[in-house]
Structure 1
Amino acid sequence: MHQPLLAHSGHIAQVQGIQVGHHTDPRRPTGCSVVLCPAGTVGGVDVRGAAPGTRETDLLHPSNLVQEVHGIVLAGGSAWGLDSATGAVRWLEAQGAGLPIGVGRIPLVPAAVLFDVMLGDMTVRPDAAAGYAACQAASSDRPAEGSVGAGAGAVVGKVFGWQRAMKGGIGTASVTVHGVTVGALVACNALGDVYNPFNGALIAGARTADGNALLNTRDALLRGEEAQPILAGSNTTIGVVATDAILTKAQAHRLAVTAHDGLARTINPVHTLSDGDTLFALGTGHTGKTLGMMTLSTMAAEAVAIATARAVLLAQSVSVPGQAPLPSWQDWQRQTPA
């Protein structure tokens, strides 16, 4: 049923100039992911969820002065995970990257975090050393997906309680048209359920009370079933959309806005009061081409939708001492008779 998604071969590092690295903490399910971009890359952001955790997003507004960024960090650890961006800044400075200020350079690295501190010891979270390590690991190879980096502790389908949720993760995808590529890297820690964007099939999310089947949160809410009390900010889907097309800063902002259409096709409910959904957009300009915003926006939404679904399809179950195991889609596939 989900074979086209699993067979998708595109990834964000196919965007010319983009490199991606993960750091996954071995002590508990958490980590961070970095997207590094070449000099001259313009950036944008659209924060759609009502409970975001972000850093340096104001500088991306089209009306503000600075025109380029040098990387993006996605991390677990909630607000503490923002410290991982400091490590990325240090690594970039060591490479001679950053905004020249006469006496040196200042790397500009916006960041967004997701809430994963319910899994294990919350004092273990991504720090500056983790961000530095993710940069050291960055390359243009296909990034690892599933329960790694910023997706290591991601969980989806929490509307009716954590005990009925499933494992989320991080995924990537890309689309190429006329030699221009748009790619996405998405860490899915959504409050809602996740669907196949091609056929609408429910992939993962809230389970029934016995834990043996998917509930379908949308239908349950429309039947009048009451959601569990939800801690604000404990859910979020965060990601990066990048293209090697030429973009202005205003166009990068618009690309981030329209990329959220991909989340809306894959997650339901999405952009809730308890989610901090945030998407960044990057334009490296390395192809020397542009396709027009209609085509680029369509490509961005497609890449985000596929990457979001892959984040869940490739996730692995997690067991933390003292807590109920969180199954993954892969677990259920293994349990289903051929």
Structure 2
Amino acid sequence: MGNLRNLITDVPGLRVGNAHDEASATGVTVVVFDRPATAGLSIMGGAPGTRESALLEPEATVSAVDAIVLSGGSAYGLDAAGGVMQALAVQGRGFAIRDVRVPIVPQAILFDLLNGGDKPWARGEGEPPHRALARAAVASAGVDFPLGSVGAGYGATTVNLKGGLGSASTVTRTGHVVAALVAVNAVGSATIGDGPHFWAAPYEQNGEFGNHGMPATVDRRALEPRYKGGPGQNTTIAIVATDAVLTKAMAKRLAVVAHDGMGRALRPAHAPLDGDLVFAAATGARPLPEDDIYAFADLGAAAADCLARAIARGVYEATALPLPGALLAWRDLYQPKRLTE
């Protein structure tokens, strides 16, 4: 499959929309499926924030979702799913119950309340912007979208650099498309020590995050954990998607295996101080070959690699917020390396 965008929208049948509020330094990212998609969820961080997560369990009744939301705003941001539901209801989308429809919209949030933006709603003044941002994100959803400081990644940070929205895609040997989308708000670091090298460097493709590779040696001090903020102030939230036909149980297994990519790209990951999680979605356009017992395992390996790459891209593409004392971005410190060097 040629002409990949290296975005999650390389999986046919889904679109991505972003919206953010500069004053409050928070935002929303929405994945909208053209038709309901089978989905699962795996949570490995200790402090997650979610909505409609229980219905994704394999034994739950609802079999597919209309959209998935990634949002800033901590628990205040959970309003975003309501905005997406409103926008999809206008389109006639949703789970049919007699003469009404209920759009099925799972969501995860990250903590961006202390990044310098003015958030009066976190002090009990006014309404959070996430519901309106979500409607705007649905309206803007398309197959092309920017990375870095946009959408849910707008207010995201890591321990040492500005975080952001990242994405990556690939095609397995059976021709199935696998891709990832992530808002990187990590408790730890995506880079090795104080240099430009990413932990995800072994998985990089076509210089997508600077072509720096691994350092000649890794200083032992770079292996010492560094933590940002305190309990509940972090979370890396992601979606992996494929065009394969999967059951809900298989989607959950795909989400579990994709967490390997988080462990490869962030140090540390899955801490008790964050709510790291991965949604998995399958649009069901291409069955897996029945005579290939490793075809599904290949999807998991590809999803993990894509998530690692997407995390690095989210940090690489980010720009510092225009706020006093804002955390510097990777590009503020390191010039992208030319592929011809």
- Kindly state the Cα deviation for residue 9 of structure 1 after the two structures are TM-superposed: 4.3
TM-score of the two chains, using structure 2 as the length reference: 0.83
Match of 2:133 among 123, 130, 133: 130
The amino acid of 1:311's aligned partner reads: G
Quickly say closer, same or farther: Cα 1:244–1:118, change in 2 above 3 A: same
- Kindly state the Cα deviation for residue 126 of structure 1 after the two structures are TM-superposed: 3.9
Match of 1:172 among 160, 167, 170: 167
Partner of 1:148: 150
CA contact (8 A) 2:25 2:118 kept: no
- Kindly state the Cα deviation for residue 233 of structure 1 after the two structures are TM-superposed: 1.1
Write the deviation string for residues 7-44 of structure 1: whole angstroms up to 9, x where unpaired.
x9411001010110000213232100000113341100
Quickly say closer, same or farther: Cα 1:261–1:280, change in 2 above 3 A: same
Between the aligned partners of 2:316 and 2:252, the Cα distance in structure 1 is: 29
- Kindly state the Cα deviation for residue 229 of structure 1 after the two structures are TM-superposed: 8.6
Moved more, 25-34 or 67-76: 25-34
Partner of 2:108: 112
Quickly say closer, same or farther: Cα 1:320–1:67, change in 2 above 3 A: same
Write the deviation string for residues 106-145 of structure 1: whole angstroms up to 9, x where unpaired.
001000011111122123654211111100000122x210
CA contact (8 A) 1:76 1:126 kept: no
TM-score of the two chains, using structure 1 as the length reference: 0.84
The amino acid of 2:133's aligned partner reads: A
Identity, % of aligned positions: 41
The amino acid of 2:77's aligned partner reads: G
Quickly say closer, same or farther: Cα 1:286–1:116, change in 2 above 3 A: same
- Kindly state the Cα deviation for residue 256 of structure 1 after the two structures are TM-superposed: 0.5
Quickly say closer, same or farther: Cα 1:19–1:131, change in 2 above 3 A: same
- Kindly state the Cα deviation for residue 103 of structure 1 after the two structures are TM-superposed: 1.9
Partner of 1:312: 315
CA contact (8 A) 2:147 2:167 kept: yes
The amino acid of 1:330's aligned partner reads: R
Partner of 2:223: 219
Unaligned residue ranges in structure 2 (runs of 5+)? 122-127, 191-197, 210-218
Partner of 1:300: 303
Quickly say closer, same or farther: Cα 1:275–1:216, change in 2 above 3 A: farther
- Kindly state the Cα deviation for residue 200 of structure 1 after the two structures are TM-superposed: 9.0
Q: Secondary structure at the match of 1:71?
A: strand
Q: How many correspondences in the alignment? A: 305
Quickly say closer, same or farther: Cα 1:216–1:86, change in 2 above 3 A: farther
- Kindly state the Cα deviation for residue 62 of structure 1 after the two structures are TM-superposed: 0.6
Quickly say closer, same or farther: Cα 1:335–1:286, change in 2 above 3 A: closer
The amino acid of 2:164's aligned partner reads: G
CA contact (8 A) 1:15 1:243 kept: yes
CA contact (8 A) 2:187 2:228 kept: no
CA contact (8 A) 1:35 1:72 kept: yes
Between the aligned partners of 1:217 and 1:244, the Cα distance in structure 2 is: 41
Partner of 1:161: none
Large movers: runs of 4+ above 6 Å: none
CA contact (8 A) 1:32 1:126 kept: no
Unaligned residue ranges in structure 1 (runs of 5+)? 1-7, 158-164, 204-214, 222-226
TM-align CA RMSD = 2.5
Between the aligned partners of 1:84 and 1:272, the Cα distance in structure 2 is: 25
